């Protein structure tokens, strides 16, 4: 098979890396790709991943068999719909189904209609009403921009002062643009977070190992929300009993609800969960694509072939695919630019990639890098690298990941030192 991966981040690097290992794969292409992906895919940096017609032209010219869409924005814009209309197998949901992520307000209403457990919420499209609601509650809450904000449009607030500042950022200062035209204010759930992944062809479901992301910028889950500062898999908070409830109370009702509403869901359904001390799962959010950086440890620990899952979901034949096998544990530590998720400098030289790349059981996924005029790697984004290690246990994988991180340097580098600490505290 000849496969195209759409996207340019660490998630897409991981997808291309894993797809390229399949014995069924003849070639992997990436649009636009990134500097690190060149080792596993033929990149097309001159093409725009949201330009459906340009992608169709590439599919025809290169005789590509499957398109795997990484980011949420092209899905929300209908890229999968256009590809399927043209007879191209595409991994990812329709634009209508992608509303589970592209509109948090729509997703909350959907969960209410189908009795899917989630936090209590209120919706606002004007700043004054939202301020009044926060002042009346005067307690912990979560403020979310309704639209797509690259994973950063969520503020977990301890009190009304923080919530009012979040509203100011989103609605008054327009930090996330049109994504903040409407906000959702939710009760703040207590418990432990997990990311659960279900690959589906609209009817059949195949699940991957649960992961745990680290959204906040600083150790101890402090600081601003980011796109993700690291992740590990499997997440021990999702034991067999909890997973059974996630499937029965959330995943299957979600897929049935989408069918009932006329928009069957295909692709990967990412359910962001809060699991309380009693093991009760509630939905924090839906994503309609693989998470970033959770994809990195999920795929590094996946011993079986990923391609049949992606292709089976795209073609409606997932029931014919053997269940995936996840071995041991994997940990990803994100190395970010100083100042991320706010302003940061670009073009800083990165040292140590070659030596770390030669380490066993370590893979460095590129997220925000480019090659300078001399052909050397420099920083070009907020999240620069996803340093991922695989081992028999979370503890060993974590040690290996941080050993690798210590060998990579660029000015102002920033990373959390407590990735996977929750898993280790359970021992």
pLDDT in tens, 204-250: 999 999 999 999 999 999 998 898 999 999 999 999 999 999 999 99
**Could you tell me what percent of the chain has a pLDDT over 90?**
92
As beta bridge partners, residue 122 has 185
Q: Do the domain assignments include residue 163? A: yes
143 and 225 fall within a common domain? no
Q: Which of 91, 116, 136 is the last residue of a domain?
A: 91
- Which CATH number characterizes residue 83's domain? 3.40.50.20
Can you list the positions of beta strands (E) in 96-140?
121-124
Give yes or no for residue 79 having a pLDDT over 80. yes
Q: Which of 91, 117, 152 is the last residue of a domain?
A: 91
What is the mean pLDDT of the segment spanning 131-156? 87
Give yes or no for residue 425 having a pLDDT over 90. no
Q: Do the domain assignments include residue 116? A: no
Residue-wise burial string across 333-353, b where 16 or more C-beta atoms lie within 10 A, e elsewhere: bbbbbeebbeebeeebebebb
Report yes or no: 206 and 318 within 8 Å, Cβ to Cβ.
Answer: yes
Query: What single string gives the DSSP state of each residue in 236-256?
Result: TTS-HHHHHHHIIIIIHHHHH
Q: Which of 301, 320, 339 is the last residue of a domain?
A: 320
196 and 315 fall within a common domain? yes
172 and 219 fall within a common domain? no
Question: Which two three-digit tokens encode residue 112?
Answer: 């209410």
Comparing CA positions, the residue from 59, 64, 13, 3 lying closest to residue 40 is: 13
Give yes or no for residue 139 having a pLDDT over 90. no
What is the mean pLDDT of the segment spanning 325-330? 96
pLDDT of residue 390: 98
Cα 373 off chain centre by: 31
Tell me the residue range of the domain where 53 lies.
2-91
17-37 residue pLDDT tens: 999 999 999 999 999 999 999
Query: What is the spatial order of strands in the sheet that 141-145 belongs to?
Result: 121-124, 183-187, 141-145, 154-157
78 and 146 fall within a common domain? no
The DSSP code for 411 is T
Q: Using DSSP bridges, classify how beta strands 2-7 and 230-233 pair: parallel, antiparallel or unpaired.
A: unpaired
pLDDT band, residue 427 (cuts 50/70/90):
low
Segment among 37-46, 85-94, 171-180, 300-309 with least mean pLDDT:
171-180
Give yes or no for residue 332 having a pLDDT over 70. yes
CB atoms closer than 10 angstroms to residue 114: 15
pLDDT band, residue 190 (cuts 50/70/90):
very high
pLDDT of residue 152: 74
- Whether the model clears a pTM of 0.85, i.e. scores above it, the answer is yes
């Amino acid at each position: 098979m000849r496969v195209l991966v759409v996207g340019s981040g660490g998630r897409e690097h991981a997808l291309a890396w894993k797809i390229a290992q399949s014995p069924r794969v003849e070639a992997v292409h990436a649009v636009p790709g990134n500097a690190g992906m060149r080792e596993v895919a033929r990149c097309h940096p001159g093409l725009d991943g949201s330009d459906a017609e340009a992608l169709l032209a590439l599919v025809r010219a290169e005789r590509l068999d499957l398109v795997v869409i990484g980011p949420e924005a092209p899905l929300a814009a209908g890229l999968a719909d256009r590809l399927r209309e043209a007879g191209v197998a595409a991994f990812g949901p329709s634009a209508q189904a992608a509303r589970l992520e592209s509109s948090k307000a729509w997703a909350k209403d959907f969960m209410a209609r189908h009795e899917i457990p989630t936090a209590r919420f209120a919706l606002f499209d004007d700043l004054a009403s939202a301020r009044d609601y926060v002042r009346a509650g005067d307690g912990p809450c979560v403020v979310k921009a309704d639209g797509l904000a690259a994973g950063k449009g969520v503020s977990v607030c301890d009190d009304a002062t923080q919530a009012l500042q979040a509203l100011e950022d989103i609605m008054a200062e327009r930090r996330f643009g049109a994504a903040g035209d409407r906000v959702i204010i939710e009760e703040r759930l207590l418990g432990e977070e997990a990311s659960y992944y279900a690959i589906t062809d609209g009817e059949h479901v195949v699940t991957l190992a649960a992961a745990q992301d680290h959204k906040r910028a600083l150790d101890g889950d402090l600081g601003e929300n980011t796109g993700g500062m690291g992740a590990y898999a499997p997440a021990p908070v999702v034991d067999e009993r909890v997973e059974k409830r996630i499937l029965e109370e959330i995943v299957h009702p979600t897929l049935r609800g989408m069918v009932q509403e006329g928009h069957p869901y295909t692709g990967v359904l990412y359910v962001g969960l809060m699991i309380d001390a009693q093991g009760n799962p509630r939905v924090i959010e839906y994503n309609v694509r693989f998470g970033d950086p959770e994809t990195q440890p999920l795929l590094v620990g996946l011993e079986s072939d990923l391609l049949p899952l992606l292709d089976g979901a795209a073609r409606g034949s997932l029931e014919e695919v053997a269940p995936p096998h996840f071995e041991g544990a994997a940990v990803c530590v994100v190395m970010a630019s100083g100042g991320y998720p706010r302003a940061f400098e670009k073009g800083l030289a990165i040292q140590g990639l070659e030596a770390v790349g030669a380490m066993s059981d370590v893979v460095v996924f590129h997220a925000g890098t480019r090659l300078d005029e001399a052909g050397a790697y420099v920083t070009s984004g907020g999240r620069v690298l996803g340093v991922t290690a695989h081992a028999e246990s979370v503890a060993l994988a974590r040690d290996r990941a941080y050993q690798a991180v210590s060998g990579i340097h660029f000015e102002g580098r920033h990373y959390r030192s407590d990735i996977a600490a929750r898993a280790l505290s359970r021992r």
